[in-house]
Amino acid sequence: MDYFLEIFWGGLTRGSIYALIALGYTMVYGILELINFAHGEIYMIGAFTALIVSTALAMAGMKGLTVFILASVLAVIYASAYGFTVEKIAYKPLRQAPRLSPLISAIGMSIFLQNYVLLAQTSDFLPFPGLIPEFTFMQPYAHIIGSTEMVIISTTALIMLLLTVFIKFTRMGKAMRATAQDRNMAMLVGIDINKVISSTFILGSALAAVGGVLIASHIGRINFYIGFIAGIKAFTAAVLGGIGSIPGAVLGGLVLGWTESFATGYVSSDYEDVFAFAFLVLILIFRPSGLVGRKTIQKV
Amino acid sequence: MLELSNVQTFYGNIKALGGVNIKISEGEIIALIGANGAGKTTTLMSISGIVPPRSGKIFFMGKPIHLLSPHEIVARGISQVPEGRRIFSQLTVKENLDMGAFLRKDKTGIKKDMEHVFSLFPVLHERRHQIGGTLSGGEQQMLAISRALMARPRLLLLDEPSLGLAPLIVKLIFQVIRKINQEDGATIFLVEQNANMALKVAHRGYVMDNGEITIQGTSEKLLHNEDVKKAYLGIVTAT
């Protein structure tokens, strides 16, 4: 039973991170119908920022939760600035172009950012400090769930709650929903869609950065390539749940996390990707619009 | 109040409007009639800035607006009820109305205007918590008009408000259009295929064909014009 629970919480942790990154894919897709392939790199840049900041703070003699919080905040700000700039440089000039053009631009941006970090930093794996301390009250459960995992799961849950409130009740949240439903009509009621699009990129990047910091301090090492792999997985999660749908991204992330975790725990870690992608293929065969995605009705 | 001067609009290389001139004075109801594909919707989309004109000028209240973005044009006081209603189908009726007042900050004024549109269309009040997509076609049209009114526009652009609706609903919609004009003082620019209905409510009209204005005049004059009768009113007079 303990073994099952350990795998369950491990899967939930993994799934939370996938969900955080998948939200960025799904929100951008909802508004622009664009797969932002550079999104994984934003997550990677978030992790690198946190590494640089926490190293600097550690040299200054600070430790504990303060370092974690400061590093996370700066990572969020820095990654958001990147997300905002990527949209302005790579996607905005192509707003009127055929849909394939911004897609290629996104892939280019992804390759560019990877190589930029490769050149500016290093190609080697860098050790990432365990920023999240071990809580003593978690000790009795340590064989099932670690402190870091607990922090990842609860932080993600809190962020999802805040995001839901933001989307449902704030002015910008409502503008985002309206723009996702009908962009031209949103313009006709006076919504500045450039602002909405920029806000979406900033918000998605912030979530990815949080994911980056959390997972890096869980796994303990990063390099320039982590964004690509995490990006592919999170994109899979978004498609699994139904791309464009916010609850879908969360559900897709969790389902993917559990699939991988149980495949690793009960079969073999060699097969985790096989199970994850086989599951995606099955979902796409029987529910092409994803787990909770709506069927799009083509009006004649 | 609104003046289009030699407006030319293109979709890619295809010319949709070939030099349109229209003048609307404050307080008028103006009808724009014409066949499918004549450029009526494009005219409205050019005014609203969704498809900006490639050349020519558009003035509103004496100031040029053809270089502004759509949200700035709404802020100047031009609202549009587009063809096919286009309500936000996953928002509730009330949220749809809130979106109409997106640029306004005066909470009490918004509340008052919401009560006003509920008095125009009581059925919307009954359905205020219902999701927009579940309304009937007629109710959606009422919601689309109400949403535009929530911006308290000085000029209201209406694109085919009678399209696909039952005759009784069409009558109600046109009554409300007249009421908005007379009681709220909004100027109305109405695009219609239902030329007969449109010219009965409008003061003046323009006839559009192939991206150009071919005939214009008072509604009375247009209703008796032989070409208009033949092409748009379905009346063939023996010659």
Smallest Cα distance from A177 to chain B, Å: 8
pLDDT(B234) > 70: no
B138 with B227, same domain?
no
- From residue B55, alpha-carbon distances to A13, B8, B19, B20, B58 in Å are 57, 5, 8, 10, 10
Smallest Cα distance from A84 to chain B, Å: 21
Pairing of strands B212-218, B78-81: unpaired
Chain B CB contacts of A171 under 8 Å are 102
Closest to A192 (Cβ–Cβ): which among B71, B100, B151?
B71
pLDDT at B21: 93
Q: What is the mean pLDDT of residues B121-132?
A: 92
Q: What is the pLDDT of residues A108-149, one digit of tens each?
A: 999 999 999 999 988 889 988 888 877 878 777 777 788 889
Query: A297 in a domain, yes or no?
Result: no
Query: A249 in a domain, yes or no?
Result: yes
Query: A296 in a domain, yes or no?
Result: no
Domain with B20 in it: 1-77+153-239
Q: What is the pLDDT of residues B26-64, one digit of tens each?
A: 999 999 998 888 899 999 999 999 999 999 999 999 999
Could you tell me the strand order of the sheet in which B14-24 lies? Answer: B14-24, B2-11, B55-60, B63-64
Whether B71 sits inside 8 A of A185 (CB atoms) is: no
pLDDT at A298: 46
B160 with B61, same domain?
yes
Rounded (5°) CA angle B185-B190-B192 = 155
Mutation to test the B interface, candidates A189, A194, A295, A297, most B Cβ within 10 Å: A189
Chain B CB contacts of A185 under 8 Å are 82, 86-88
B146 with B222, same domain?
no
**Domain boundary residue, one of B123, B151, B179:** B151
ipTM of the complex: 0.90
Closest to A190 (Cβ–Cβ): which among B50, B75, B88?
B75
A&B contacts, CB < 8 Å: 60
A287: CB partners within 8 A, 6+ apart: A293
Q: CATH number, domain at A160?
A: 1.10.3470
Closest to B147 (Cβ–Cβ): which among A184, A189, A193?
A189
- From residue A112, alpha-carbon distances to A37, A38, A106, A269, B139 in Å are 11, 9, 10, 31, 51
Query: A187 in a domain, yes or no?
Result: yes
Smallest Cα distance from A93 to chain B, Å: 16
pLDDT(B65) > 60: yes
Chain A CB contacts of B154 under 8 Å are none
Tell whether A167 is within 8 A of chain B (Cβ): no
Whether B88 sits inside 8 A of A190 (CB atoms) is: no
Query: B214 in a domain, yes or no?
Result: yes
For the beta carbon of residue B231, count every other beta carbon within 10 angstroms.
Answer: 17
| Three-state DSSP class for residue A98 | coil
Give the chain B residue whose CA is nearest to the CA of A195.
B71
Mutation to test the A interface, candidates B99, B113, B143, B147, most A Cβ within 10 Å: B99
Query: B82 in a domain, yes or no?
Result: no
Chain A CB contacts of B89 under 8 Å are 181
User: B-contacting residues of A 175-214, CB under 8 Å?
Assistant: 175, 177-178, 181-182, 184-193
- What whole-number percentage of chain B has pLDDT above 70? 97
pLDDT at B236: 58
**Domain boundary residue, one of B151, B167, B191:** B151
B64 with B122, same domain?
no
Domains: count for chain A: 1
Q: pTM to 2 decimals?
A: 0.89
Residues of chain A with confidence (pLDDT) below 50: 298-300
B162 with B237, same domain?
yes
Query: A239 in a domain, yes or no?
Result: yes
Pairing of strands B29-34, B204-209: parallel
Whether B74 sits inside 8 A of A189 (CB atoms) is: yes
B71 with B30, same domain?
yes
Smallest Cα distance from B148 to chain A, Å: 7
pLDDT at A295: 60
Query: A298 in a domain, yes or no?
Result: no
Cα-Cα-Cα-Cα torsion B3, B6, B9, B14, nearest 10 degrees, comes to 150
Tell whether A172 is within 8 A of chain B (Cβ): no
Closest to A188 (Cβ–Cβ): which among B70, B90, B95?
B70
Give the chain A residue whose CA is nearest to the CA of B80.
A188
Whether B88 sits inside 8 A of A191 (CB atoms) is: no
Strand partners, B206: B32, B216
Domains: count for chain B: 2
Mutation to test the A interface, candidates B11, B48, B71, B143, most A Cβ within 10 Å: B71
pLDDT(B91) > 70: yes
Whether A181 sits inside 8 A of B98 (CB atoms) is: no
Q: What is the pLDDT of residues B184-232, one digit of tens each?
A: 889 999 999 888 888 989 999 999 989 999 989 898 888 888 888 877 7
The two most distant CA atoms of chain A are separated, in Å, by 66
B38 with B98, same domain?
no
Domain with A273 in it: 2-286
**Domain boundary residue, one of B151, B184, B206:** B151
B55 with B144, same domain?
no
Give the chain A residue whose CA is nearest to the CA of B70.
A187
Query: A294 in a domain, yes or no?
Result: no
B53 with B167, same domain?
yes
Helix axes A193-219, A226-241, angle to 10 degrees: 120
Q: What is the C-alpha to C-alpha distance for residues A265 and A251, in angstroms, rounded to an integer?
A: 21
Query: A291 in a domain, yes or no?
Result: no
